[in-house]
Structure 1
Amino acid sequence: MKKWFCLGSRCQAPSSPADPRRSSRGAWPHVYSRARRKFHKAASEGDVARVEGLLLLGKSELNEGDRKRRTALHFASACGQAEVVTLLVEKKCNINACDSDSNITLIKAVQCNQEHCAAILLEHGADPNIANARGNTALHYAVYSETTAIAARLLSHSADTEAKSKDGLSPLSLTLKENRQEVAELFQKAKRNTEEMDKPG
């Protein structure tokens, strides 16, 4: 599996407007305005009051994206800003919004090992089986990072262990390829539990 870009602890909105002539894949022609940049910066920094204020004043839209189609929820999820994530999902933002690489917000949270944010997204209906442009789901990244707690949460929300990426790897086969023993044991336990539940009464 190839490496991915994670905003991490230094995450922030881009500091300059996007050049519309260099829009991502030619499909995002909107100029990255100053107001939009402030909105995403506030989300990435966990400034709940500023995020809410910009929305109330009508200076920002809930689902607006930057030139890579990343929304405020992408930034907040990747940066571990749980309060902002909660605010945005309660305001009914597009929880499964995709960036220019087809990464939904849940995938960004998992890539950046933000368990609390991933949990909030799942509880509010994020789909764990949506794949990105490489065919990887959130569970692929949980396996690769060996984040067992996140993998367990994904499984509890019906994440598919057999979903194959464009490289032909499923989360299950990835546990073998990357020698992720703890996650493999978790998968086996989940499978046994499912089989027990499916047995006739």
Structure 2
Amino acid sequence: MRRSMWRVMGLFSKKRQQSPSGSTSGQSCAATSTTSAYELQEKDLGRLHRAAAHGNLAWLRRWHWWLKRVSINRRDKEKRTPLHLACANGHADVVSFLVQENCQLNLTDNFKRSPLMKAVQCQQEKCVAILLEHGADPNLADADGNTALHLAVLSPNTAVAGLLLEHNANIDAQNQEGYTPLNLAVSKHHKEMVEFLQKKGADGHAQDQRERTALMVATFAEDMNAIQLLLWHGADSLIGI
């Protein structure tokens, strides 16, 4: 591995010459949003959405009979269901209540993000666990092609990523830029997540739309930690060295 390391280091200047945008190391990736929580306009929320957003379980239980007459999956102006808002704000008790009332788990908002995706984005681990245990789909893709696992990588949160993988999340799913969760973790310099995904069997040979593997992305960024991890897991052949 040591000889391979020196060969990769020798490629740094060559790679930068080949790609003027090499320093971005994934900044062009569609999964760059750092805003996860919803911006709530109280005046635009109905009673049901407001109760879910604020974790008002007592109100939901008191008006249980009313919920039978209206759709528990009612959407607001941004196509968010009460479940979306409860998940984003970490109200696990409300999430459990809504699930028990047979709400739909996989409806998506304006950005095509499901309640599970919002729970992952906002690092609400209890909500993630509840949704997965009741059959929420971990492989839906949002408007940028990102799955819940991509969003877990951006956090970064290995505990949430582990939950997703335990419930059959596709470890090598690609977003619109062709980034797998592993390539995304490398591009964001999330060393712990890179190591975690490799131990879970992520495919280091996967290429993005620019035909770059995880090792190439790490090389462009001169990320020695990621390079060492990738080489340790047998990435030599990925850039023809």
TM-score where L is the length of structure 1: 0.79
Equivalent position to 1:183, from 181, 186, 193? 193
Instruction: Indicate how the Cα distance of structure 1 residues 2 and 188 shifts in structure 2: closer, same or farther if over 3 A, else same.
Output: closer
1:139 is aligned with what amino acid? L
Whether 2:162 is the aligned partner of 1:152: answer yes
Query: Take 1:77 and 1:46, find their aligned partners in 2: how far apart are those partners?
Result: 10
Equivalent position to 2:63, from 54, 67, 74? 54
Q: Which residue of 2 aligns with 1:37?
A: 46
In the TM superposition, what whole-angstrom CA distance separates every residue of 1:135-179 from its partner, at most 9, and x where no partner exists? 001100111111111011111111112111112211121121112
Specify every segment of 5 or more residues in structure 2 that has no aligned partner in the other structure, as ranges.
Answer: 1-30, 203-241
Mean Cα deviation higher: 42-51 or 123-132: 42-51
TM-score where L is the length of structure 2: 0.66
Equivalent position to 1:87, from 74, 97, 103? 97
CA RMSD of aligned residues (A): 1.8
Instruction: Indicate how the Cα distance of structure 1 residues 53 and 60 shifts in structure 2: closer, same or farther if over 3 A, else same.
Output: farther
Whether the 8 Å contact between 2:129 and 2:163 is mirrored in structure 1 is yes
Query: Take 1:159 and 1:181, find their aligned partners in 2: how far apart are those partners?
Result: 21
Q: Which residue of 1 aligns with 2:43?
A: 16
Specify every segment of 5 or more residues in structure 1 that has no aligned partner in the other structure, as ranges.
Answer: 18-35, 193-201
2:37 is aligned with what amino acid? L
SS at match of 2:50: helix
Q: Which residue of 1 aligns with 2:131?
A: 121
Query: Take 1:57 and 1:122, find their aligned partners in 2: how far apart are those partners?
Result: 27
Whether the 8 Å contact between 2:73 and 2:103 is mirrored in structure 1 is yes
In the TM superposition, what whole-angstrom CA distance separates every residue of 1:67-100 from its partner, at most 9, and x where no partner exists? 1110000000000000000011111110011011
Q: Which residue of 2 aligns with 1:103?
A: 113
Whether the 8 Å contact between 1:39 and 1:54 is mirrored in structure 2 is no
1:2 is aligned with what amino acid? T
Give aligned pairs, total: 171
Q: How does 1:127-146 map to 2 (within 5 A)?
A: 127-146=137-156
In the TM superposition, what whole-angstrom CA distance separates every residue of 1:24-66 from its partner, at most 9, and x where no partner exists? xxxxxxxxxxxx6111111111111212333422464210010
SS at match of 2:198: helix
Q: Which residue of 2 aligns with 1:27?
A: none
Instruction: Indicate how the Cα distance of structure 1 residues 101 and 4 shifts in structure 2: closer, same or farther if over 3 A, else same.
Output: farther
Instruction: Indicate how the Cα distance of structure 1 residues 188 and 2 shifts in structure 2: closer, same or farther if over 3 A, else same.
Output: closer
SS at match of 2:72: coil
What is the Cα deviation at residue 4 of structure 1? 5.0
